């Protein structure tokens, strides 16, 4: 070891180094055990706590028992403290990191501050005293800067999360939890109004929904809307999307779905809706317009065809599926 060969290894480090190395090796071994998050957290606390204790006790020892190598020992210890701060902020939650690092800083400065405040001759030379003053001042600045960076990062995360929630709210229907028409318009804008692969469009309309609102009130009408939206979603695949298209209309975009599969899906949903019973409003039915198109075609044209098919289903008596 460099310090030992040059005669600057302190008696404290003779005993402290083996203990610290043992703690660090133990912590690394604990971290290497897979799928044990609690053990990993314990390893981080063990490493941080061990180094913190070594630094705090070491500084007290070097300050209270100054010798010819004190300036090296103090400087060597002070230079490693910011690494401990960085590790604390990197591995621990914000407040744990701030409290832990602040505790290390305050505990390590207790002895020199006490000596200066109570007027005891510390036995330091000018270089050691200047080193301590500058070291603690720089450490305080490091801690303040890191705390401000963490606080700023937290605020940025909150703003980003708020922006994400606001964006989601803008494209989501609050009542049914489905995407809304604005969400579909965003898809149109992103795709340049072109379908990149074959899709089927299924446009659902709740039959005579106005009568439900008129007879039972809007609260029951909202419950019927939300219930039917959930029934439709229950029949969709992971890649399919449902949008609340209008007051009582829902649009389903089923990717990679041909004519027969789209019609089968529409009939399946129609049967499930007609079989369900609301405790107040009773049964409800839906009319469905279905259109299919291949990749590269205009989505607006496909929507127009689905709307025409829905109109035809209503003209033919409702509670049925019509295709275009």
Check residue 273 and give its pLDDT: 95
Check residue 119 and give its pLDDT: 57
Check residue 172 and give its pLDDT: 86
Joined tokens for residue 252: 């389903």
Helix, strand, or coil (residue 278):
strand
Check residue 55 and give its pLDDT: 87
pTM given for the model: 0.56
If asked whether residues 162 and 187 sit together in one domain, one would say no
257 belongs to a structural domain = yes
If asked whether residues 138 and 49 sit together in one domain, one would say yes
Catalytic residue status for 167: no
Catalytic member of 3, 44, 167, 248: 248
If asked whether residues 194 and 268 sit together in one domain, one would say yes
Cβ-based burial of 135 (10 A; exposed 0-12, middle 13-18, buried ≥19): buried
172 belongs to a structural domain = no
If asked whether residues 156 and 19 sit together in one domain, one would say yes
If asked whether residues 241 and 295 sit together in one domain, one would say yes
CATH of the domain at 288: 3.30.70.270
If asked whether residues 117 and 150 sit together in one domain, one would say yes
Check residue 318 and give its pLDDT: 94
If asked whether residues 196 and 259 sit together in one domain, one would say yes
Mean pLDDT by 10 residues, the chain (324 residues): 63 83 90 89 91 87 71 80 88 88 88 68 65 83 87 84 76 87 73 65 95 94 95 92 91 89 94 94 95 76 91 94 91
- From 113, 147, 167, give the residue that closes a domain: 167
Helix, strand, or coil (residue 55):
helix
Check residue 4 and give its pLDDT: 59
CA proximity to 300, closest of 197, 194, 196:
194
If asked whether residues 154 and 11 sit together in one domain, one would say yes
174 belongs to a structural domain = no
192 belongs to a structural domain = yes
Check residue 9 and give its pLDDT: 72
103 belongs to a structural domain = yes
Report how far apart, in Å, the C-alpha atoms of 144 and of each of 49, 112, 189, 288 are.
21, 21, 46, 63
DSSP state string for 184-235: HHHHHHHHTTB-SS-EEEEEEEETTHHHHHHHH-HHHHHHHHHHHHHHHHTT
How many domains is the chain partitioned into structurally?
2
If asked whether residues 8 and 149 sit together in one domain, one would say yes
173 belongs to a structural domain = no
- From 167, 197, 226, give the residue that closes a domain: 167
If asked whether residues 130 and 260 sit together in one domain, one would say no
240 close to 255: Cβ distance less than 8 angstroms: yes
Q: Give the domain range for residue 104.
A: 2-167
If asked whether residues 109 and 228 sit together in one domain, one would say no
- From 133, 167, 201, give the residue that closes a domain: 167
If asked whether residues 146 and 66 sit together in one domain, one would say yes
Rounded to whole angstroms, how far apart are CA atoms 173 and 244? Answer: 7
48 belongs to a structural domain = yes
124 belongs to a structural domain = yes
């Amino acid at each position: 070891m460099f310090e030992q060969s040059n005669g600057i290894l302190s008696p404290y480090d003779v005993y402290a180094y083996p203990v610290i190395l043992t703690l660090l090796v133990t912590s690394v071994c604990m971290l290497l055990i897979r799928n044990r998050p609690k053990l990993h957290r314990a390893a981080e606390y063990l490493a941080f706590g061990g180094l913190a204790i070594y630094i705090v006790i070491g500084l007290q020892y070097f300050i209270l028992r100054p010798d010819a190598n004190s300036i090296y020992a103090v400087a060597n210890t002070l230079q490693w403290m910011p690494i401990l701060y960085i590790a604390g902020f990197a591995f621990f939650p914000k407040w744990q990191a701030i409290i832990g690092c602040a505790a290390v800083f305050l505990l390590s400065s207790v002895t020199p501050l006490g000596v200066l405040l109570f007027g005891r001759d510390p036995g330091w030379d000018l270089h050691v005293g200047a080193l301590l003053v500058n070291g603690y001042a720089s450490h305080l600045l490091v801690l303040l800067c890191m705390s401000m960076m963490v606080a700023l990062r937290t605020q940025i995360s909150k703003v980003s999360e708020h922006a994400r929630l606001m964006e989601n709210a803008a494209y989501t229907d609050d009542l049914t939890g489905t995407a809304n028409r604005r969400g579909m318009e965003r898809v149109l804008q992103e795709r340049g109004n072109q379908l990149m692969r074959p899709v089927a469009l299924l446009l659902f309309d709740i039959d005579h929904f106005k009568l439900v609102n008129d007879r039972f009130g809007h609260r029951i009408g909202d419950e019927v809307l939300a219930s039917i939206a959930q029934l439709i979603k229950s029949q969709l695949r992971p890649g399919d999307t449902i949008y609340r298209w209008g007051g009582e209309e829902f649009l389903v975009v089923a990717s990679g779905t041909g004519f027969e599969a789209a019609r089968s899906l529409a009939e399946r949903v129609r049967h499930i809706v007609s079989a369900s019973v609301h405790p107040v409003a009773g049964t409800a039915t839906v009319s469905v317009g279905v259109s299919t198109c291949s990749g590269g075609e205009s989505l607006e044209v496909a929507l127009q065809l689905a709307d025409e098919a829905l109109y035809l289903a209503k003209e033919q008596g409702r509670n049925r599926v019509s295709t275009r």
